[in-house]
Amino acid sequence: MKVAVIGSGYVGLVAAACFAELGHEIICVDNDLAKISALNSGDPLIHEDYLPELLARHRGNKLTFSSSLADAVRECTVIIIAVGTPAAASGEADLSYVESVTREIARCADGYKLIVEKSTVPVYTNAWIHRSMVLNGCRPGSFDVVSNPEFLREGTAVSDFLYPDRIVVGANTPRAAAAMRELYGPLLDGSYAQKEGAAPRPDEAAMPPLYLETSAQSAEIIKHASNAFLAMKISFVNALANIAESAGADIEDICKGIGSDSRIGPKFLRAGLGYGGSCFPKDIAAFQSVARECSYQFRLLDEVRQINEEQLQRFLKKVRTALWTLKNKRLAVLGLAFKSGTDDVRESPAINVVKALIKEGCEIVAFDPAAMNRARVVLGETIAYADDPYTAAKGADALLILTEWKEFASLDLPRVKALLSYPIVLDGRNLYAPEEMAKAGLNYYSVGRPACEVSHPMVVQQKAAN
Average pLDDT over residues 209-229: 95
Same domain, 391 and 326: yes
What is the predicted pLDDT for the residue at 466?
40
Last residue of a domain, one of 165, 182, 214: 214
User: E-assigned strands of 215-362?
Assistant: 330-334
Q: What is the mean pLDDT of the chain?
A: 94
pLDDT digits (tens, 9 = 90+) for 367-389: 999 999 999 999 999 999 999 99
Q: How far apart are CA 343 and CA 2, in angstroms?
A: 31
pLDDT at 464: 42
**Residue that is last in its domain, among 274, 308, 342:** 308
Mark which of 214, 234, 252 sits at the end of a domain: 214
Residue pLDDT, tens place only, 237-285: 999 999 999 999 999 999 999 999 999 999 999 999 999 998 899 999 9
Q: In this predicted model, what pLDDT tens digit does every residue of 167-215 receive, in sequence order?
A: 999 999 999 999 999 999 999 999 999 999 999 999 888 889 999 999 9
Cβ neighbourhood burial of 297 (10 Å; 0-12, 13-18, 19+): exposed
Query: How many CB atoms within 10 Å of residue 266?
Result: 12
Rounded to whole angstroms, the Cα distance separating 192 from 444 reads 47
Decide if pLDDT at 463 tops 50.
no
Q: Tell me which residue range forms the domain holding 255.
A: 223-308
Q: Each residue of 107-129: pLDDT tens digit?
A: 999 999 999 999 889 999 999 99
12 with 151, same domain: the answer is yes
Residue 459 scores a pLDDT above 50: no
> Based on C-alpha coordinates, what's the Rg of the chain?
24
| 206 in the same domain as 334 | no
Q: What is the per-residue burial (b if ≥16 Cβ within 10 Å, else e) of 423-450?
A: bbbbbbbbbbebeebeebebbbbbbbbe
Query: Burial of 124 by CB count in 10 Å (0-12 exposed, 13-18 middle, 19+ buried)?
Result: middle
Confidence of residue 309 (pLDDT cuts 50, 70, 90): very high
Active-site entry in 28, 76, 279, 362: 279
Euclidean distance between CA atoms 239 and 127, whole angstroms: 39
279 assigned to active site: yes
Q: What is the rounded CA–CA span in Å between residue 163 and residue 351?
A: 31
Give the tens place of pLDDT for each residue, 87-105. 888 888 899 999 999 999 9
Nearest 5°: CA angle at 323, between 427 and 397? 75
pLDDT score of 231: 96
How high is the pLDDT of residue 461?
45
